[in-house]
Amino acid sequence: MFTTHAAAVAVRPSTGRLRPLGLDEVRITGGFWAGRQRTNAGVTLPHIAHWLEREGWIGNFDLAAAGRLPEGRRGREFSDSEIYKFLEAAAWELGRRPDAALEARFREFVARVAAAQWPDGYLSTAFGRPGQPERWSDLAWGHELYCLGHLFQAAVARERTAPGADDGLIGIARRAADLVCEVFGEDGIQSVCGHAEVEVGLAELSRVTGEQRYLHQARLFIDRRGRHVLPEPEWGRSYFQDDLGIREATVQRGHVVRANYLAAGAVDVAVETGDSGLLATLRGVWDRTIARRTHLTGGQGSHFQDEAFGEDWELPPDRAYSETCASIASIMFSWRLLLATGGGGYADLIERTLFNVVATAVSHDGDRFFYTNTLHRRVPGEMPDPESASPRAFSSLRAPWFEVSCCPPNIARTLASLAGLLTTVDDDGLQLHQFATCSIATSLADGTPVALDVETAYPETGTVTVRVREAATRPWTLSLRVPAWAGGATLRHLTAAGELRTTTVSGPVAQLTAAFEAGDVVELDLPMAATFLRADPRVDALRGCVAVQRGPLVFCAERPAGAGDELDRLVVDTGVEPSYSDGRVVVSARWLQRADSAWPYQTGGSVATVAGEPFALIPYVDWGHSGLCTMRVWLPEG
């Protein structure tokens, strides 16, 4: 347990096992993620702002203020939320690094939003005016509360990174939240939003403002779900998570983004209300979802139709929906459980998801995006039009924008606030959950000051070096996560006095308790061999296949568009171990010899292959950067 700390943290529970550190306490200073953050700030945020203007989504607020809605309104019913997610991303980015142009843009957008708010706090460009549907008239599909949830998260980010800023955003959020409590309170409309999000927004807004009724309203929304308060859609009530009460569920189901936002909000409510039963239920839900409904990349979702989880073991690589936003929502859920409980595989999943979905979904250049993240692309598809919003999931190349463009600003807010996911503290010490070159200056939960520099070429190498810059003399514990994929690690402690101690670690955490001194160096060495992985045999779609992982990175086979059906014929000889060099994993390839039968189902069983040249796999995070292509993560074993 710890006392609340006034840092710029992405999530700030008032209680829990671990205290998160703020962007003012941890800075990513180099390596993989520093590059991603630079691109996010320099390219992605301006790109998003450009498209928000171009598509008229921010312009909708101007039209609202000018009384010119609904005629000119553009975009889907949830387009307001993209402005709020942009504001949240900008707030984190400004907390990370001052930027006058971004600050100006932030204030300009806030002012345009403010002008569209009704005196009673209501805020939506899609509802409530003459010619528009009435307020709250379509809770199932209207996304009004969903949008407000993102507004609240933006205001929370701003308040934490620039407390007392005079831009007015926190006031906009409070007025809207007050209205929500009034309209949907104990005696109000007994329903919920079809797309969860307001719950987590209200809980965090409660934390930042101290308003208990926001938390109470979040709990009401959480508890109402599962009582069939929404109309049943064609594919069942699970779509809205309205099939089962939050306390009755045993696994995530339905629309994945909705499910994970809801679960994140439910953890917040459980933590803030001391509801240990609910917290235990949510941990069980997480466990089974990871054991049975999550792709190798950490991505989730197997249905295109309803953007939903499949059933247990239904994890088709070629129809992996794995929406980018779903993974971001999954990180929100995992991170909250990590803070609340201190362990349990949450940081492993966050790492897997960050590298193999979040970092993969945005191009290296920062201005192209995947909405879905398939594990197998059979046909190259078409080049997305650089000048227009794309469909979501039909090319091997990333697109500049989507008609439903939730993913780009979601990536931006995640990358801008990423430093907050690296490390935590408690009374006993400091925990390093994610490995990035960074600078840490904080105090343990009891006030002991600690300053560290972390240096690593991760995930290219598995060596993580922690240099102690400042530490009180009392002993404390430095904990470094040992990912489950590593199976173990070596920990070295070279004291400032020149003494070297080496230990072998087998569990999920490498711990070192010492009265660290400035100049002490702690080095974690993770084994980084490329290995073949096989799926639980109940995952039907992956039977007889292997995937290759090295460190946290999943690898894949990619062939340019002109290569025809080569990836349909590739078979991996797993008798030869994969070998890594220079960013590639080389496997022993065989090629299927197969002409079409008139009918593809026959009594014979033998599969003829011929040996080929060694085949080089690339990191999945790098796929789709060399033109239209085919790609697969899971490769038949032969």
The site for its own copies (CB under 8 A) is made up of: 234-236, 287-288, 290-292, 294, 296, 303-305, 310-314, 316-319, 345, 348, 376, 378-379, 391-392, 394, 403, 484, 531-541, 543-545, 547, 549, 565, 568-569, 574, 592, 594, 596-605, 607, 634, 636
Minimum distance of its own copies from residue 142's CB (angstroms): 21
| 165 vs 592 by CB, closer to its own copies | 592
Minimum distance of its own copies from residue 636's CB (angstroms): 6
Q: Is residue 34 packed enough to be buried (19+ CB in 10 Å), middle (13-18) or exposed (0-12)?
A: middle
| 335 vs 371 by CB, closer to its own copies | 371
Minimum distance of its own copies from residue 398's CB (angstroms): 17
| 49 vs 257 by CB, closer to its own copies | 257
| 255 vs 292 by CB, closer to its own copies | 292
Minimum distance of its own copies from residue 335's CB (angstroms): 18
Distances (CA, A) of 557 to 137, 371, 529, 609: 48, 21, 18, 18
| 118 vs 313 by CB, closer to its own copies | 313
CA dihedral 71, 76, 77, 81 (to 10 degrees): -120
What is the C-alpha to C-alpha distance for residues 75 and 79, in angstroms, rounded to an integer?
6
Taking each helix axis from N to C terminus, what angle separates 256-272 and 198-209, rounded to the nearest 10 degrees? 30
Distances (CA, A) of 226 to 148, 259, 285, 337, 637: 21, 12, 15, 22, 43
Minimum distance of its own copies from residue 373's CB (angstroms): 16
State the residue for tokens 């309209």.
183
Coil, strand, or helix at residue 467? strand
Minimum distance of its own copies from residue 605's CB (angstroms): 5
Give the full edge-to-edge strand order of the sheet including 609-611. Answer: 570-572, 589-592, 609-611
Q: Which residue in 235, 263, 401, 251 sits closest to 328, CA to CA?
A: 263
DSSP state of 495: -
DSSP state of 318: T
| 122 vs 401 by CB, closer to its own copies | 401
Minimum distance of its own copies from residue 251's CB (angstroms): 11
Bridge partners (DSSP) listed for residue 456: 464
Q: Which residue in 405, 412, 378, 411 sits closest to 394, CA to CA?
A: 378
State the residue for tokens 């934390």.
207
Coil, strand, or helix at residue 523? strand
Minimum distance of its own copies from residue 290's CB (angstroms): 6
State the residue for tokens 């005016």.
129
29: enclosing H helix or E strand: strand 26-30
| 141 vs 394 by CB, closer to its own copies | 394
| 103 vs 637 by CB, closer to its own copies | 637
**Strand 437-443 with 376-377, pairing:** unpaired
Minimum distance of its own copies from residue 144's CB (angstroms): 24
| 403 vs 622 by CB, closer to its own copies | 403
| 387 vs 582 by CB, closer to its own copies | 387
Minimum distance of its own copies from residue 615's CB (angstroms): 17
Q: Which two tokens stand for residue 306?
A: 């309803």
| 101 vs 595 by CB, closer to its own copies | 595
Coil, strand, or helix at residue 96? helix
Residue 161's CB is within 10 A of a number of other CB atoms, namely: 23
For residues 34 and 25, the answer to whether their CB atoms sit within 8 Å is no
Give alpha helix (H) positions in 273-358: 276-292, 324-341, 346-353
Minimum distance of its own copies from residue 450's CB (angstroms): 31
